[in-house]
Amino acid sequence: MTVRTALITGASRGIGKAIREAFEASGIAVLAPGRTEMDLSDARSIAAYLDSLGSRQIDILINNAGINPLGGISEITDEDIRSTIAVNLEAPLFLMRTLVPRMEKNGWGRVVNISSIWSEVSKPRRIVYSSTKAGLSAATRTIAVEVASHGVLVNAVAPGYTNTELTRQNNPPDVLAAIEQTIPQGRLAEPREIAELVLFLCSDRNSYITGQTIFIDGGFTCQ
């Protein structure tokens, strides 16, 4: 039985942690570098980490890490723009640029980029975050077309409101209750639900889905 190896960014908590746990439970070997090993805001750090892998085959890449500084168009700073683009868009592109060609050479690979509902729908004070996630979805489609004939499938998953520690910290109970009322299913997503979708997309069971951004939001973006 072939043991696949996955590289997951942002795997220490929330959705990333759930993906890591789902992969490990299914027998996938997981590399989950923290910021001290690979600083996603620093292109040199990313390059150094990739160099440290040597010739090790990475079969699956999950670009999950992201940051979300809030601010309207008149409020966002130069650093907000630069850091969010670096982590949310440049880092995934750097990782895919190195790892996807290796997958092509091996004849098998899976990439899932974690996008967001805010790549498709709008909410005030999320201009930089939304822009980077929309860009990530666009990159997903383009790369998928480039590598489809080489056994490499590239997709994005766009979660809606998800029941993570960060969500609970940032929203008091009354705000969470109001958010739930805006979701047709009447509740937040659980991280494991996102993880199960990602696991399927990265398995041999998925043999024909590529270039898609799949929304998993309880019907939120259908309204």
Token couple for 90? 């440049």
Residue whose entry in the numeric block shows the structure tokens 């997709």: 155
The 3-state DSSP class for residue 62 equals: strand
Catalytic residue among 49, 129, 161, 208: 129
Under 8 Å between Cβ of 140 and 98 = no
Report the candidate in 13, 220, 51, 199 with the shortest Cα–Cα distance to residue 112. 199
Q: Which residues contact 16 (CB under 8 A, 6 or more apart)?
A: 8, 9, 10, 32, 62, 64, 65, 114
In the residue annotation, 208 being an active-site residue is answered as no
Structure token pair of residue 189: 């997503």
Residues with a known catalytic role: 129
